[in-house]
Amino acid sequence: MNRQIILDTETTGLDRKSGHRIIEIGCVEIINRKYTGNEFHVYLNPERDSDPGALEVHGLTTEFLSDKPKFEEIYEDFISFVKDSELLIHNAEFDIGFLNHEIKLMSKKLNTVDKHVSAITDTLQIAREKHPGQRNSLDALVNRYEVGGYDRELHGALLDSKILGDVYLAMTGGQSTLDFTTQNEDLEQKNQITSSNDTDLNLKVVNLTKEEDQLHLDYLERMKEETGTIPVWFSKDL
């Protein structure tokens, strides 16, 4: 069983070393690449105000958070929910840094989050590897993978976790199915295709003109200059 937890947080500001705190945690469970419906969601009283910039992002006022539990009150429930799972987080260093900071404020003897889970995967790093040189914020990925169905004016930890879950599944191959009949039929068709003789296909070979070939090379040169990487086409091994 592959149990993954999509996790996101909202905070009072960007720098935990300046005393900023977590104000919301949202988690969504996926098992074997399918949503289970299990979620963990909590608002927290940070005992301080949010920076104006952060407040514009999440909209969670000091008044709204004043009667919410403190982190130490939900700590055990949170650890119980994520225990032994693989955490999937966009820009994991930020969220894990804040979570570990909250834990250490309780007691320096307590284990950090990474000691309770099987792995921590940064979806931002996955996106950067798949789309080098492009914007890979959650909003950018939502547009790139055409993830829809969410009414999102402000950021929220649970909502962003659900959106990130959809993005992650799309980015890594989609939600799995357990239809073995379909899989066997697909495999049988694939075997039939690969066993065919090339002569049976009667494919027509179309050669590029010199002008078309030069246009292609010019395009690859521009790609090389813009991305700073050498296109595979230029590899000596090809």
Query: For residue 154, what pLDDT is reported?
Result: 78
Cα separation of 149 and 163, whole Å? 9
Instruction: Identify the H or E element spanning 218.
Output: helix 210-227
Is the domain 3-171 a CATH 3.30.420.10 member? Answer: yes
Task: Give the residue carrying structure tokens 């004016």.
Answer: 153
pLDDT tens-digit readout, 206-229: 555 556 556 656 656 665 565 555
How far, rounded to the nearest angstrom, does the alpha carbon of residue 163 sit from its chain's CA centroid? 9
Determine if the pTM surpasses 0.85.
no
pLDDT tens-digit readout, 8-60: 999 999 999 999 999 999 999 999 999 999 999 999 999 999 999 999 999 99
Cα separations (Å) of 152 from 17, 23, 26, 158, 159?
A: 30, 18, 15, 11, 8
In the set 58, 131, 155, 216, the catalytic residue is 155
Cα separations (Å) of 122 from 91, 94, 130, 168, 237?
A: 6, 10, 13, 10, 32
- 216 classed as catalytic: no
